[in-house]
Amino acid sequence: MGQVRRKRRRPELESRKKRIDCSFCKEDKRVDYKDVTLLRKYVSERGKIRSSRVTRLCGVCQRQIATAVKNAREMALLPYISQRKS
């Protein structure tokens, strides 16, 4: 019980804060389900919604995108997950 030596934290870990530069928040845009060209960027070829890790959106905007894509699917603007597997 003698050793109370604290390990120093690596500085890189501290400096690596979650800094998401969300393009939607930056430009103060609104997500519109009718804007298919925009939504396509956040949907994979298969028609899946890309994860926020890929899209680099903040949580709020990612949700908005997700609901917008779902709306667009319902309106037949975007496909549901497409045809066949591989």
Query: Which residues contact Zn ion by CB under 5 A?
Result: 22, 24-25, 58, 61
Shortest distance in whole angstroms from residue 54 CB to Zn ion? 15
DSSP 22-75: -HHHHHT----TT-HHHHHTTB-TTSPBPPHHHHT--HHHHHHHHHHHHHHHHT
Q: Which is nearer to Zn ion, 24 or 33 (CB)?
A: 24
Q: Which is nearer to Zn ion, 36 or 58 (CB)?
A: 58
Shortest distance in whole angstroms from residue 30 CB to Zn ion? 11
Half-sphere exposure of 69 (CA within 13 A, CB side): 21
Query: What stretch of H or E contains 14?
Result: helix 11-15
Q: Which is nearer to Zn ion, 46 or 56 (CB)?
A: 56
Shortest distance in whole angstroms from residue 59 CB to Zn ion? 8
